[in-house]
Structure 1
Amino acid sequence: MTLRKKLAVLFCSALAVLGLPMLQGTAYAGGGNRQILLLDNANNAYSVLVVGSNQYGSRVSHCWNTPYFKNELSGWWWTGNVDVYSYPVGGCDGSDIVGESHVYISPNVSGDWYAVTNNPRVSTTATQQVEVYDNNHRINSIRIMGFNQDDIWVSQCWATPGWDTLAANWWWGGASVDAYASSTNCTGDYQRYGVTGGHGSVTALAIG
């Protein structure tokens, strides 16, 4: 168990011993506070524990069951450094975790949702479409390169006008994604990200 995980468990246990409720978030759009969209690329997270600061600046935690690929952890709003621990069973039960993500939700970026993948580096033999989430609203286009379903090396450029872009009907058996901030046609400087796949028809890449 990692040090952060131990601290998270101790935090929750202390609240229970003291009889203090965990502070639940309420609908609170804007102000740099965002809800989390958990993307289970590995298809092995049945619950997640989120630990971080809420919209009021309080250190809180909460557990959600996550039965789907896309899981909206709604009603709780987060900002700053946030830790997400994935469990192979419901109720965040036990000490074993199957993935963890540590993200920074900027108070200077607006929006309702922040995408988090529970395990963005999962090998697979399946071919999948790629869905990119631009958490900080900086990317204007992406180029995906890799082997397609016919084991042929191909690449394609997509403009990314919104937070969520699905590169539909292109199937990859592992690929790299170049993210361009300065153009809508994949020219200029870029940042490269690796995607090795997950399970199902779509694998997600959360940037930012």
Structure 2
Amino acid sequence: MNIRKRLGGLVLAGVFALTATVVAVGPAHAGSNGQQLLLINNSGTNDSFLLKGTDYNGNPVQTCVNTDGRWETWFSNWWFKGSLTYFTYTAYNCYGTPSNWGAVVNIPTSSSNDWQAITDNSSSYGGNQQIDFFDNLHKANSIRISGYNQYDQNVSGCWATPGWETPVNGWWWQTPVTLTTYTSSNCSGSSNGVYTPERVGNPNNAWFGFADS
């Protein structure tokens, strides 16, 4: 699934520079000086992301990425690091009033992979979704997800997380859900993170993307 998803999202419909502060961003090496971004459109209603941050040379950059309503968009060959502020829009080209006002995340300078996932807020729920977990902090070797499935049963499961992305195939969830991370590979011992992702169950998307940072 990861390969299919990656190939399906590499071509962007359009990237628009919005200010004179945008500079050309060249390649870094294997996430050693900034990260590329995976934009997760959990709401299914956002058509563009406005990104404001710093490139791998320390220059301020700002750009708008059209997502065409896709659930995920792999924004390649732009390398960010440090504080990143992002806004989402229901219109193309980041036009009009943002649907999400200025979420802030930290993009590491160095990482074991080339990507950092950022997500918007889901605008609706009431259905069931599978969860795709992104270990941005690289601290989870397993995750436990507990909550209600599509049959309104309270269930729990453990999954090893050998890489940055772990899609939990075939398990369908609805709000409320608790996600717990562990350093062990089998959810044993003490946890190192507990999260309660909001609005799992958007009926318009089969997947809900969740990142631990």
Short-chain TM bin:
0.7 to 0.9
Q: CA deviation at 1:155?
A: 0.3
Q: CA deviation at 1:61?
A: 0.7
Partners of 1:93 and 1:24 lie apart in 2 by: 23
Partners of 1:101 and 1:115 lie apart in 2 by: 13
Q: Residue 85 of structure 2 aligns to a residue in which SS?
A: strand
User: Which consecutive segments of 4 or more residues in structure 1 shift more than 3 A?
Assistant: none
Q: What is residue 23 of structure 2 aligned with on the other side?
A: 23
Q: What is residue 208 of structure 2 aligned with on the other side?
A: 203
Partners of 1:122 and 1:177 lie apart in 2 by: 20
- Following superposition of structure 1 onto structure 2, how do residues 63-82 of structure 1 map, counting pairs within 5 Å? 63-67=64-68, 68-82=70-84
Is the CA contact (8 Å cut-off) linking 2:34 and 2:110 kept in structure 1?
Answer: no
Deviations 1:69-126 (A, max 9, x none): 01111221000001111111000112x111242110122323211000012x654011
TM-score by length of 2: 0.83
Partners of 1:122 and 1:164 lie apart in 2 by: 23
Runs of 5+ consecutive residues of structure 2 not aligned to the other structure: 1-17
Deviations 1:157-200 (A, max 9, x none): 000000000111011112111111x2111122222111231341
Letter in 2 for 1:202: W
Deviations 1:25-67 (A, max 9, x none): 1222332311110000011210111110101000111111012
**1:163 is the counterpart of 2:164:** yes
Partners of 1:117 and 1:58 lie apart in 2 by: 24
Is the CA contact (8 Å cut-off) linking 2:22 and 2:60 kept in structure 1?
Answer: no
Deviations 1:106-153 (A, max 9, x none): 22323211000012x654011010110001211000000111111110
Counting aligned pairs with the same residue, the percent is 34
Q: What is residue 150 of structure 2 aligned with on the other side?
A: 149
- Equivalent residue pairs, number: 188
Q: What is residue 9 of structure 1 aligned with on the other side?
A: none
Partners of 1:172 and 1:137 lie apart in 2 by: 24
TM-score by length of 1: 0.85
Letter in 1 for 2:78: W
Question: Root-mean-square deviation (CA), in Å?
Answer: 1.5
Partners of 1:177 and 1:205 lie apart in 2 by: 9
Is the CA contact (8 Å cut-off) linking 2:134 and 2:212 kept in structure 1?
Answer: yes
Q: Residue 91 of structure 1 aligns to a residue in which SS?
A: helix
Runs of 5+ consecutive residues of structure 1 not aligned to the other structure: 1-11, 16-20
Partners of 1:93 and 1:116 lie apart in 2 by: 20
Partners of 2:63 and 2:54 lie apart in 1 by: 11
Partners of 1:32 and 1:157 lie apart in 2 by: 33
Partners of 1:25 and 1:86 lie apart in 2 by: 22
Partners of 1:192 and 1:131 lie apart in 2 by: 16
Is the CA contact (8 Å cut-off) linking 1:32 and 1:110 kept in structure 2?
Answer: no
Q: What is residue 34 of structure 1 aligned with on the other side?
A: 35
Question: Which protein has the larger Cα radius of gyration, Structure 1 or Structure 2?
Answer: 1
Is the CA contact (8 Å cut-off) linking 1:127 and 1:149 kept in structure 2?
Answer: yes
